[in-house]
Amino acid sequence: MVNFPTWKKALVAIVCLIGLMFALPNFISDKVTQQFPDFIPSQSVNLGLDLRGGSHLLLEVEVQAVIDEQLDAAVDAARAALRGERIRYTGLGKQTRSISVNIPDEKDREKALALLRDIDTDSEATLEGEKITLEMTEAQVLERKTSAVQQSIEIIRRRIDETGVREPTIQRQGEDRVIVQLPGIDDPERVKALIGKTAKLTFQMVDVENSLQDAMAGRVPPGSMLFPMVDGGANGQPPMILVKSKIAVSGENLVDAQPSFDGRNNEPVVSFRFDTLGAKKFGDVTSKNVDRPFAIVLDGRVISAPVIREPILGGSGQISGGFSIEESNDLALLLRAGALPAPLSILEERTVGPGLGADSIAAGQIASIVGLVAVLIFMGVTYGRFGLYADIALVANMILILGSLSALQATLTLPGIAGIVLTIGMAVDANVLIFERIREEVRAGRTPISAIDAGYSRALTTIIDANVTTLIASVLLYAFGSGPVRGFAVTLSIGIVTSMFTAIMLTRLFVVVWLRSKRPDSLPI
């Protein structure tokens, strides 16, 4: 164990140098690090919500809206199927998780039952008297809920990533809730608005055959819907517009959306582009409806309703609606990220100010410094020269931990600082085991070289067992924990790996170099 090959010396030097390079940006201002060449690391440690400040949101996914949307589609399909077969019906409508219809003529009931079964083969169709019910199963409802929450999490993540928020925490809680933590955001209201918008975009034809006044009086014709315009009208009441219920083209077919300016009047607009299927649908609709208006509907409000002057066959177009520059940027962002499958409601909101984070950082720094100094003094007093070598390795260990956090871009939280403080004590644990073993070998009458060799070789198994056991625990904490628990597990895991390296490699290098240069008759331990 007292043999230390050149390649090991080079490895120790390279690892320590790399750790120092990655840790250095944490002690230098951002203006200086931005001037670094590309090959020099310039990323500092990401601070979590409790250290940097920011917003904590608890959102609820309104999954019933997803079920209602499916039931609405089933009602439309049932209406079309029954009319196609000329079956007389009454009372067609939806309930919480089912649709029902009354078939007055007994001879048509079995045929109508078969038609409804074909609409959704997974649902249960039953006939009681003249009433036919098509009800979603428990498995269907659970699948829709799970899918809606998972899709919501993915779309929230896309939207937040587009805003440039670093290291957001987005995770599911319970059956239909999502936790969102946004450290260091500058405009929480804007981010909340972006998260909360469903951003469901559809292109639907305007109903010009029926009377808008009759519809506003409560007589909305079948197959049409009333939507408000985005632009406010007289007395702050937005004008209404009658739109066909059938969606001509869905926003799901969008592949890109970018903010731009209209070349004619230089107003902000959003340029969009469809995929192949969307381009074909859009081309067919505009070809068949020249000189007729069509509505661009976003979240149940009509942005604009232009008249189709000519077929639009290129699969791209523009959305204009008197946007400001920021509104066009946000709309393009929402369309690129995709529509939420269901509306979101904010159940809880907490804002952590940067002042509280600064206090936490200061307290963590004090705790770390006090712990570090105490350990340094203890090791120096207890083990003399060897204790000083362990102290140098401990400082190197702190640098390696900081460098690893910067390189991995892991988020440092208050529990993470607790993990670092714990690591300070654990980092010298391996050295204590080795030094105590060396003391035992010296008392047994061994020579300095033999005692050091035996001390390292016999303590190595114990060191590995103890650290691997702790590492397994920290990995499990990360795998099954969340939020603060994971932050603690990350710093603890990194600290275990770096402390083993500094204890087994760096401290031993110092001891071997001293031993070979001085050839002592006794050990100062």
Residue 172 lies in a domain: no
Residue 316 belongs to a domain with what CATH number?
A: 3.30.1360.200
Q: How many C-beta neighbours within 10 Å does residue 362 have? A: 10
Mean pLDDT of 395-418: 85
Taking the alpha carbons at both ends of the chain, their separation in whole angstroms is 18
236 has pLDDT over 70: no
Q: pLDDT band at residue 192, thresholds of 50, 70 and 90?
A: confident
15 has pLDDT over 70: yes
pLDDT at residue number 186:
58
3-state helix, strand, coil in the chain (%, to 5): 55, 20, 25
Strands (E) across 444-525 are located at none
The chain-wide mean pLDDT, for the chain, equals: 83
**266 Cβ contact list (under 8 Å, min separation 6):** none
More confident residue, 1 or 258: 258
SS (H, E, C) 301-348: EEEECCECCCCCCCCEEEECCCCCHHHHHHHHHHHHHCCCCCCEEEEE
Q: How many C-beta neighbours within 10 Å does residue 382 have? A: 15
> What percentage of the chain carries pLDDT values higher than 90?
6
Selection from 14-28, 223-237, 323-337 with the highest mean pLDDT? 14-28
Residue 79 lies in a domain: yes
Q: Which amino acid is at 128?
A: E
Domain stop point among 94, 110, 136: 136
pLDDT at residue number 98:
92
Whether residues 399 and 492 share a domain: the answer is yes
Give the three-class secondary structure for 275. coil
User: What is residue 56's DSSP assignment?
Assistant: E
Q: How many C-beta neighbours within 10 Å does residue 427 have? A: 28
Cα 413 from Cα 48, distance rounded (Å)? 5
350 has pLDDT over 80: no
Q: How many domains does the chain have?
A: 3
Phi/psi for 522 (5° steps) reads -140, 160
Residue 117 lies in a domain: yes
Whether residues 41 and 92 share a domain: the answer is no
Looking from the CA of 320 toward its CB, the CA atoms found within 13 Å total 13
Domain stop point among 136, 151, 181: 136
Whether residues 48 and 72 share a domain: the answer is no
Strands (E) across 333-491 are located at 344-352, 411-412
More confident residue, 492 or 2: 492
Whether residues 444 and 364 share a domain: the answer is yes
Residue 111 lies in a domain: yes
Whether residues 396 and 498 share a domain: the answer is yes
Whether residues 215 and 98 share a domain: the answer is no
Q: How many C-beta neighbours within 10 Å does residue 491 have? A: 25
Mean pLDDT of 229-251: 78
276 has pLDDT over 70: yes
Residue found under tokens 């969008």:
254
pLDDT at residue number 358:
67
pLDDT at residue number 321:
67
Cα 191 from Cα 195, distance rounded (Å)? 6
Q: Which domain holds residue 112?
A: 64-136
Whether residues 118 and 233 share a domain: the answer is no
Q: pLDDT band at residue 166, thresholds of 50, 70 and 90?
A: low
372 has pLDDT over 60: yes
Bridge partner residues of 80 (DSSP)? none
Closest by Cα among 431, 447, 428 to 523: 447
Q: Which of 50-59, 354-363, 401-410, 436-445 has the lowest mean pLDDT?
A: 354-363
Sign of the dihedral through C-alpha 110, 113, 118, 119: positive
Whether residues 361 and 477 share a domain: the answer is yes
Whether residues 382 and 500 share a domain: the answer is yes
pTM: 0.60
80 has pLDDT over 60: yes
Q: Which of 97-101, 201-205, 421-425, 480-484 has the lowest mean pLDDT?
A: 480-484
Closest by Cα among 129, 138, 139, 77 to 106: 129
Q: pLDDT band at residue 101, thresholds of 50, 70 and 90?
A: very high
More confident residue, 485 or 113: 113
Give the β-pairing of 46-47 and 169-173: unpaired
By the 10 Å C-beta count (0-12 exposed, 13-18 middle, 19+ buried), 451 is classed as buried
Q: Which amino acid is at 3?
A: N
Residue 398 belongs to a domain with what CATH number?
A: 1.20.1640.10
Mean pLDDT of 31-52: 73
By the 10 Å C-beta count (0-12 exposed, 13-18 middle, 19+ buried), 258 is classed as middle
Mean pLDDT of 268-297: 87
Residue 97 belongs to a domain with what CATH number?
A: 3.30.1240.20
Instruction: At 368, list the tokens.
Output: 């770390």
Give the three-class secondary structure for 474. helix
100 has pLDDT over 90: yes
Whether residues 317 and 448 share a domain: the answer is no
pLDDT at residue number 133:
92
Instruction: At 70, list the tokens.
Output: 């499916």
Instruction: At 23, list the tokens.
Output: 């840790």
Q: How many residues are given for the chain? A: 525
Q: Which of 151-155, 352-356, 414-418 has the lowest mean pLDDT?
A: 352-356
Mean pLDDT of 342-358: 74
Q: pLDDT band at residue 102, thresholds of 50, 70 and 90?
A: very high
Whether residues 418 and 444 share a domain: the answer is yes
pLDDT at residue number 263:
67
pLDDT at residue number 14:
92
Give the β-pairing of 301-304 and 316-319: unpaired
Whether residues 220 and 324 share a domain: the answer is yes
Residue found under tokens 């019933």:
64
pLDDT at residue number 478:
85
Residue 201 lies in a domain: no
Q: Which of 71-80, 148-157, 193-202, 347-356 has the lowest mean pLDDT?
A: 347-356
Enumerate long-range contacts of 111-118, CB under 8 Å, 24 or more apart. Answer: 111/85, 111/87, 112/82, 112/85, 112/87, 115/78, 115/81, 115/82, 115/85, 115/87, 116/78, 116/81, 118/81
What is the tens place of the pLDDT at every residue in 292-322? 988 888 888 888 888 888 888 888 888 776 7
Residue 236 lies in a domain: yes
Q: pLDDT band at residue 2, thresholds of 50, 70 and 90?
A: low
Give the β-pairing of 411-412 and 46-47: parallel
Instruction: At 151, list the tokens.
Output: 């899709």
User: What is residue 85's DSSP assignment?
Assistant: T
pLDDT at residue number 132:
92
What is the tens place of the pLDDT at every residue in 352-370? 665 555 676 677 778 778 8
User: What is residue 120's DSSP assignment?
Assistant: -
Cα distances (Å, whole numbers) of residue 149 to 97, 170, 299: 18, 12, 19
Closest by Cα among 328, 375, 387 to 507: 387
Bridge partner residues of 294 (DSSP)? 205
